[in-house]
């Protein structure tokens, strides 16, 4: 199961943000649809991780932690990998039956983006960052597509800038924590800490600005959503602080491992949910 990178499935909870933001009625039917969408993305994202790990297997063997991945250490055979991929494809196809066509198109786009990144564009600076952030963005769009929701401009902007902010932090941490002779990714040779820190500052500013504008313009008088600005600021600034002296390459490890960041994000999510559903 380690080859599927189950821990990364936590990213697929992004599918639930759009339905909650749109105040989709909580019912057995909506939970069933959302759960099926989540399972589909778990399947297709694992296919992407397998493809990426396969192309990176030689370089991963030089990394202090990635060398323990099943494909890198050779504990999984090609036959087993083929079996995993076929099974995941079948799960994705069967579970996605009767889900909206727009959702299926987004899943297909996600897979295309993942394969293009893994087999070609991962070596091109800037482009590869945009493609990784697109993976987050497509998850958010998929959640809206499950219920044929109309997406606001604010949702697009916050999602895009927030995704780029996270990816910029990830690349910054990788550069700072990598040895000059053994970069965890070939593309890191093209990035400097100064450039990445500038990107982080720009995307942090844009993410906070767009979130604040959305929160303040959302049906004036909505106290929970207005208060969520404070907790959102705490979470974003804490992530920014972590990028100054990184302790881990993956921002998601810090998000789920740091109590303050985890608490502030969950509180933001709770405040927004209360503000939308109780208005």
For the chain, how many residues are written? 279
Q: What average pLDDT does range 65-78 have in this prediction?
A: 74
Helical spans, DSSP H, in the chain? 17-21, 28-55, 57-60, 70-73, 78-95, 101-119, 127-146, 153-177, 193-217, 223-244, 251-257, 259-277
Percentage of the chain exceeding pLDDT 90: 51
Check whether 241 has a pLDDT greater than 80.
Answer: yes
- SS3 sequence of 169-212: HHHHHHHHHCECCECCCHHHHHCCHHHHHHHHHHHHHHHHHHHH
Q: Using pLDDT thresholds of 50, 70 and 90, give the confidence band for residue 244.
A: confident
Three-class SS of residue 63?
A: coil
Contact status, residue 190 vs residue 126, Cβ threshold 8 Å: no
Domain coordinates in residue numbering, the chain: 1-148, 152-279
Q: Is 148 exposed, middle or buried (0-12, 13-18, 19+ CB in 10 A)?
A: exposed
pLDDT digits (tens, 9 = 90+) for 11-65: 899 999 889 878 788 889 999 999 999 999 999 999 998 888 888 777 767 666 6
Q: Which residue has the tokens 């939308």?
A: 276
131 or 249: whose pLDDT is higher?
131
Report the topology of domain 1-148: Tetracycline Repressor; domain 2 (1.10.357)
Please tell me the pTM assigned to this model: 0.87
Query: pLDDT digit string (tens) for 5-23?
Result: 888 888 899 999 889 878 7
Please determine, for residue 181, whether its predicted confidence score (pLDDT) is greater than 70.
no
The least confident of 38-42, 137-141, 171-175 is 171-175
Distance CA 170, CA 172 (A): 5
């Amino acid at each position: 199961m380690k080859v599927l990178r189950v821990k990364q499935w936590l990213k697929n909870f992004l599918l639930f943000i759009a339905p909650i933001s749109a105040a989709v009625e909580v019912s057995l039917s909506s939970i069933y649809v959302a759960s099926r969408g989540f399972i589909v993305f778990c399947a297709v994202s694992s296919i992407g991780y397998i493809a990426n790990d396969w192309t990176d297997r030689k370089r991963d063997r030089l990394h202090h932690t990635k060398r323990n991945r099943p494909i890198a250490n050779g504990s999984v055979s090609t036959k087993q990998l083929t079996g995993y991929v076929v099974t995941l494809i079948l799960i994705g196809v069967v579970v996605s039956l009767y889900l909206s066509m727009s959702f299926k198109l987004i899943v297909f786009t996600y897979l295309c983006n993942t394969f293009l990144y893994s087999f070609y564009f991962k070596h091109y600076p800037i482009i590869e960052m945009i493609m990784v952030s697109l993976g987050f963005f497509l998850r958010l769009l998929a959640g809206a597509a499950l219920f044929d929701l109309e997406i606001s401009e604010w949702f697009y902007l916050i999602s895009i800038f927030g995704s780029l902010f996270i990816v910029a932090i990830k690349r910054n941490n990788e550069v700072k924590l990598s040895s000059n002779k053994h970069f965890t990714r070939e593309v890191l040779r093209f990035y400097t800490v100064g450039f990445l820190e500038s990107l982080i500052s720009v995307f942090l500013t844009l993410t906070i600005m767009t979130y604040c504008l959305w929160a303040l313009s959302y049906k004036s008088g909505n106290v929970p959503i207005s208060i969520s600005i404070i907790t959102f600021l705490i979470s974003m600034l804490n992530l920014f602080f972590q990028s100054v002296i990184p302790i881990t390459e993956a921002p998601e490890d810090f998000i789920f491992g740091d109590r303050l960041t985890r608490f502030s994000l969950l509180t933001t999510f709770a405040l927004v949910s209360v503000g939308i559903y109780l208005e």
